[in-house]
Amino acid sequence: MGVIHLLTTRVFRIRRYNGKTNPHTNRIERNEVSGFHIHEATERYQERGQKEDAYAVETKRYTDVEGTVDCLIADANFVMPQNTQLNLFYEVLTMTIKNIEHKFITEVGAKIRLVEEGEDRYRVLSPFQFDDGDQLVIVLKKDADRWVLSDERHTFRHMSYEIDEKLLFKGTRNQIIGNALTMFDIENRNGELRLDVSDRNFGDAFYDFVQSILKITDISYLSKVQTKSPFVQNFRSLMLDNVDPDNVFFDWYDLDHDNKAIYKVDCKIACDDKDPIFAYALNNDNKTRDVTIALHQFNALGVEYRPLGIIEGRKKPSASVLQRFSHVCNEYFIGINENYANILSYIDMCL
Q: Domain containing 306 — which CATH number?
A: 3.40.1350
Residue 42 belongs to some domain of the structure: yes
Whether 279 maps to a domain, the answer reads yes
pLDDT of residue 94: 38
Is the pLDDT reported for residue 280 higher than 90?
yes
| Mean pLDDT, range 73-101, rounded to an integer | 58
- Inside any domain, residue 133: yes
Q: What is the CATH number of the domain that holds 144?
A: 3.30.1460
* pLDDT at residue number 221: 59
Query: What is the rounded CA–CA span in Å between residue 261 and residue 252?
Result: 8
Are 234 and 217 in a shared domain? no
| Domain end marker among 221, 238, 254 | 221
Together in a domain, 18 and 114: no
Closest CA to 46 of 212, 258, 250, 225: 250
Q: CA–CA separation, 340 vs 246, rounded Å?
A: 21
297 and 248 within one domain: yes
Non-local (6+) Cβ contacts of 123 within 8 A are 114, 115, 117, 138, 139, 140
Distance (Å, rounded) from C-alpha 53 to C-alpha 140? Answer: 32
Q: What is the mean pLDDT of residues 259-263?
A: 83
Residue 85 lies in a domain: no
The answer as to whether 110 is a domain residue is yes
Domain boundary among 158, 189, 221: 221
> Count of alpha carbons within 13 Å of 305, Cβ hemisphere only?
29
Euclidean distance between CA atoms 274 and 292, whole angstroms: 23
Residue at 82 is within a domain: no
Please tell me whether residues 127 and 215 are part of one structural domain: yes
Domains identified in the chain, total number = 3
Checking if the pLDDT of 174 tops 90, the result is no
Looking at the structure, tell me whether residues 206 and 279 fall in a common domain: no
**Is residue 260's pLDDT more than 90?**
no
Does this model's pTM top 0.85?
no
Domain extent for 124: 92-221
Whether 96 and 217 share a structural domain: yes
Residue 226, pLDDT > 80, answer no
Q: Please indicate, yes or no, whether residues 208 and 245 belong to a single structural domain of this protein.
A: no
| Structural domain includes residue 83 | no
Check whether residue 207 and residue 237 sit in a common domain: no
pLDDT at site 110: 53
98-142 pLDDT tens trace: 666 666 666 665 567 788 887 788 888 887 877 767 788 999 988
- Decide the pairing of beta strands 332-334 and 306-311: parallel
238/149 same-domain check? no
pLDDT at 8: 58
Tens of pLDDT, residues 331-345: 999 999 889 999 999
Same domain, 109 and 188: yes
The DSSP string of 226-238 is: HHHS-HHHHHHHH
Say yes or no: 202 and 239 in one domain.
Answer: no
- Mean pLDDT rounded to a whole number for the chain: 81
**In the predicted structure, residue 224 carries a pLDDT above the cut 60:** no
Boundary of a domain, candidates 48, 75, 102: 75
Identify the weakest region by mean pLDDT among 74-88, 121-135, 300-314.
74-88
With a cut of 70, say whether residue 300 has pLDDT above it: yes
In a domain, 80, yes or no: no
